[in-house]
Amino acid sequence: EAGVTQSPTHLIKTRGQQATLRCSPISGHTSVYWYQQALGLGLQFLLWYDEGEERNRGNFPPRFSGRQFPNYSSELNVNALELEDSALYLCASSSAGLAGGYGSYNEQFFGPGTRLTVL
């Protein structure tokens, strides 16, 4: 079974540009999560999508946005890039999001990440 895939592996942008990161979940998983792993800041939750809807977002400015497509893949967009946006962006997927209830405790499976560098 294929795992979570992310593209691109690396992305280099300059300040003020926009970045688009992509994620394909494990087949059968309906929930997709995005996390940022920045040096010194640890792993921070960005966004949760389930069944095409944004279900929760972390403490990030609105220039971080995304969407989930009908095939459950997802896209993370970061507008007006700043130097501090440089980080590893991790996507995860799990089964039975809302269908399993908000208390669903299925584990999240992570992709290899996209390394975003802002110059």
Partner 1 sequence: AQSVAQPEDQVNVAEGNPLTVKCTYSVSGNPYLFWYVQYPNRGLQFLLKYITGDNLVKGSYGFEAEFNKSQTSFHLKKPSALVSDSALYFCAVRESQGGKLIFGQGTELSVKP
Quick check: 10 and 19 in contact, CB under 8 A? Answer: no
Binding mask 21-50 for partner 1 (x = CB under 8 A): ----------x-x-x------xx-x--x-x
Measured distance CA(66)–CA(39) in Å, rounded:
23
Per CB under 8 A, does 102 bind partner 1? yes
- What are the distances in angstroms from CA 45 to CA 12, 63, 89? 22, 15, 10
Q: Count of CB atoms within 10 A of residue 91's CB? A: 30
Per CB under 8 A, does 104 bind partner 1? yes
Binds partner 1 (CB under 8 A): choice among 13, 20, 58, 117? 58
Give the residue among 52, 30, 43, 38 at the shortest CA–CA distance from 96: 30
Considering the complex, state which of residue 4 and residue 19 has its C-beta at the smaller distance from partner 1: 4
Instruction: Give the shortest CB-85-to-partner 1 separation in angstroms.
Output: 18
Binding residues for partner 1, rule: CB under 8 A, are 4, 6, 31, 33, 35, 42-43, 45, 48, 50, 55-56, 58, 90, 92, 97, 102-105, 107-113, 115
